[in-house]
């Protein structure tokens, strides 16, 4: 399976982000990727304005016109511009696109959602474990999800998590117990002292816990390597990574925006769990 990890620098404008994301999908598809994974908050960067202002429902379908082009049921002025744009390009190119966005929830809050869309899938995973700490409460603006999500690419079972979920082993173990071979983790991981080390340890630990491939895709570090190690807020540290079920780092990005193309053999997950009965 060929995957594309798009270390994408989201901005404040949803339409601009959608346009640039679609360009990256085309680049990835041209290199043979069947699954294209973007970070958390691809539709709107954190700290760039109220998330509720850009929150949108998942588009429900795409209508194909006689000339071969596609349009949402609402027409060109879709109520779901981000998810519609990504769904259209995914269907056009025959790939599965995975990207972070926001959906309306309750009392002005949003769901922190991972859109999964392609020829045979269209769904969203709402982040379950919210980043509530001594200094920040994501739950003030984001409502928690409650359901694990899996989908298939061909015969391969793929699970979904988001950012802070990476600290909760049970999330990944439960997906593996449902026969996931891969878990995708769109992320916007803040920089700061020790944060890159934490990211690297946690992604490898979850692969080892569950015997799955971890495909963790982060936003790049604002300012690049020159700003590395300084506190950045929830805007990215780069270092998107593919970790094999035995904990090997297959590939890792740097600090800057990057399109990383990686080939994996998903059957390694079943072999790993057969040889080492984890559950």
Does the annotation mark 40 as catalytic?
yes
> What pLDDT does 75 receive?
46
Q: Which of 41, 169, 206 is nearest to 114 (CA)?
A: 41
Chain-centroid distance, C-alpha 207: 16
Q: How far apart are the first and last CA of the chain?
A: 26
> What pLDDT does 176 receive?
98
For β-strands 63-64 and 70-71, DSSP reports them as antiparallel
> What pLDDT does 61 receive?
58
> What pLDDT does 67 receive?
53
Three-state SS at 156: strand
What is the C-alpha separation between 197 and 201, in angstroms, rounded? 6
Q: What is the DSSP string of 198-212?
A: HHHHHHHHHHHHHTS
What is the C-alpha separation between 217 and 169, in angstroms, rounded? 18
Does the annotation mark 59 as catalytic?
no
Catalytic residue of the set 22, 56, 59, 127: 127
Q: What does the angle CA 203 – CA 208 – CA 209 come to, to the nearest 5 degrees? A: 95
Quick one: DSSP state of residue 35? Answer: E
Q: Which of 105, 50, 113, 121 is nearest to 82 (CA)?
A: 113
Does the annotation mark 195 as catalytic?
no
Distances, alpha carbon 129 to alpha carbons 150, 164, 170, 214, 240, in Å: 17, 6, 11, 17, 20
Catalytic residue of the set 40, 56, 88, 92: 40
**pLDDT by position in tens, the chain (length 279):** 999 999 999 999 999 999 999 999 999 999 999 999 999 999 999 989 999 988 999 987 554 444 545 455 544 456 899 999 999 999 999 999 999 999 999 988 999 999 999 999 999 999 999 999 888 899 999 999 999 999 999 999 999 999 999 999 999 999 999 999 999 999 999 999 999 999 999 999 999 999 999 999 999 999 999 999 998 878 899 999 999 999 999 999 999 999 999 999 999 999 999 999 998
Q: Which of 209, 137, 221, 143 is nearest to 176 (CA)?
A: 209
Chain-centroid distance, C-alpha 224: 21
- pTM (2 decimals)? 0.93
For β-strands 63-64 and 35-37, DSSP reports them as unpaired
Contact (Cβ atoms closer than 8 angstroms) between residue 217 and residue 187 = yes
Consecutive H or E run containing 124: strand 121-126
> What pLDDT does 276 receive?
93
Catalytic residue of the set 24, 88, 138, 163: 163
What is the C-alpha separation between 256 and 60, in angstroms, rounded? 34
């Amino acid at each position: 399976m060929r995957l594309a990890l798009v270390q994408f620098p989201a901005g404040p404008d949803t339409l601009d982000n959608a346009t640039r994301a679609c360009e990256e999908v085309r680049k990835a598809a041209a290199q043979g990727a069947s699954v294209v994974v973007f970070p958390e908050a691809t539709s709107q960067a954190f700290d760039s304005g109220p998330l509720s202002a850009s929150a949108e429902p998942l588009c429900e379908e795409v209508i194909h016109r006689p000339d071969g082009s596609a349009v949402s049921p609402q027409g060109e002025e879709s109520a779901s511009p981000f998810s519609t744009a990504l769904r259209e390009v995914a269907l056009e190119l025959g790939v599965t696109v995975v990207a972070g966005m926001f959906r309306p929830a309750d009392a002005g809050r949003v769901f922190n959602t991972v859109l999964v869309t392609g020829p045979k899938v269209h769904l969203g995973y709402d982040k379950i474990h919210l980043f509530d700490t001594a200094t920040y409460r994501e739950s003030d603006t984001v409502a928690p999800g409650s359901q694990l999500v899996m989908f298939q690419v061909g015969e391969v079972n793929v699970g979904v998590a988001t950012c802070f979920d990476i600290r909760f082993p049970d999330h990944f173990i439960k997906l593996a117990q449902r026969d996931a071979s891969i878990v995708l983790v769109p992320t916007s991981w803040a920089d700061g002292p020790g944060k890159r080390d934490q990211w690297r340890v946690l992604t490898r630990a979850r692969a080892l816990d569950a015997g799955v491939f971890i495909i963790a895709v982060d936003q790049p570090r604002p300012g690049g390597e020159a700003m590395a190690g300084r506190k950045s807020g929830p805007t990215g540290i780069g270092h998107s990574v593919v970790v094999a079920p035995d904990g090997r780092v297959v590939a890792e990005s740097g600090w800057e925006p990057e399109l990383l193309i990686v080939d994996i053999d998903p059957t390694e997950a079943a072999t790993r769990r057969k040889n080492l009965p984890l559950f």
